[in-house]
Chain A
Amino acid sequence: MGIISSGFRGRRNKDQPGLPPGQYLTESFPVLSAGPTPRIDTAEWEFQLTTEAGQVHSWSWDDFQNLPQEEFTVDIHCVTSWSKFGTRWKGVSLDTFFQDVDTSHPYTMFSSYGGYTTNLPMEDILNGKAWIVHQFDGEDLQPAHGGPARLLVPHLYFWKSAKWVRGLRMMERNDPGFWETNGYNLHGDPWLEERYW
């Protein structure tokens, strides 16, 4: 139409209040991955939370679907510099998974089908800050985007939102995950540009 609208592809725009420093807006949804896309049958899918005492809490796909579901819209920010506004998701808050979990450790390591890992402090995943999601934009989450279910931690860079999530274990120390071991920031707040070591 010839009209420059906010958020057209690849446009850097410092006047966008929702855009963290060094990011540009995209309308596409780039797929990033450190390996082949695993195909996980929901009949086989399981999500496990392991405490410091070795207690394992696990949820089958049906268990997961029967937990209280939330639908919400958030902006996401990838460390490779793209941001995407207004992404719509459906899933279960991490608060729900932790309801009957006895732990005092302050850190977690999430792991995925395919072997990916990422570390997250408890304070970044509780109190409505993180979800296990299984729908994007009203559709089942596709394997390329982490389906059947991925972690979503929208206030941190998107490498924290582990695709094909299969569980987490409690950690006493903030040990680094797959990318955090190799140059990327332990925390990853896009507003503070916590990209690298």
Chain B
Amino acid sequence: MSLGLDDGLADGTGTEAGGQDYLDGNALAGPLSEFSSGDLTVAEGRCENCGMTGVLATTRVYAHAPGMTARCRGCGSVLLRLTEAGGRTVLDLRGLSYLSIQRD
């Protein structure tokens, strides 16, 4: 093959450990800390599409892209998009019908 069409690994071609092309939701912790002093990956969300609930840490995060996209483990729908675009962090939560967190 020519020109590295299958350049793997860091390029996210599905050849990372375990054959997955996504990370677990803990990868959201860093950029989400811009929005909360607490750890938002322990917040529970509900998928607007299929109704599955779970903490953000259990979502599938596609990070080899202009931003991070967290998808539902159940149905694959986009739950959350997070971009660090220029000097701004943008959080799009349209795929979640709620996000809930336990108060201390």
* Chain A residues close to B by CB (< 8 Å): 27-37, 79-80, 115, 136-139, 142, 144-145, 159, 178-179, 181-184, 195-197
Contacts and interface: CB of A to CB of B under 8 A. Distances in A.
A184 B67 CA distance: 9
Contacts of B1: 139
A136 B14 CA distance: 20
Prevailing SS type, chain A contact patch: loop
A28 B5 CA distance: 7
A182 B90 contact: yes
A194 to B, nearest CB: 11
A137 B62 contact: no
| Residue picked from A27, A35, A138, most chain B C-beta under 10 Å | A35
B13 interface: yes
Interface of B: 1-7, 10-14, 21-22, 62, 64-67, 69, 71, 76, 78, 81-86, 88, 90, 92
Prevailing SS type, chain B contact patch: loop
Nearest to A136: B5
Given A28-B7, A144-B13, A145-B5, A33 B64 contact: yes
Contacts of B2: 137-139
Contacts of A184: 66-67, 83, 85
Contacts of A197: 85-86, 88
Kindly list the 3 A-B residue pairs having the minimum CB-CB distance in the complex, ordered from nearest: A183-B85, A196-B86, A183-B90
A28 B78 contact: no
A29 B5 contact: yes
11 contacts: A30-B7, A31-B12, A34-B67, A35-B62, A136-B5, A139-B1, A142-B6, A182-B83, A183-B90, A184-B66, A195-B85
Contacts of A36: 21-22, 62, 71, 76
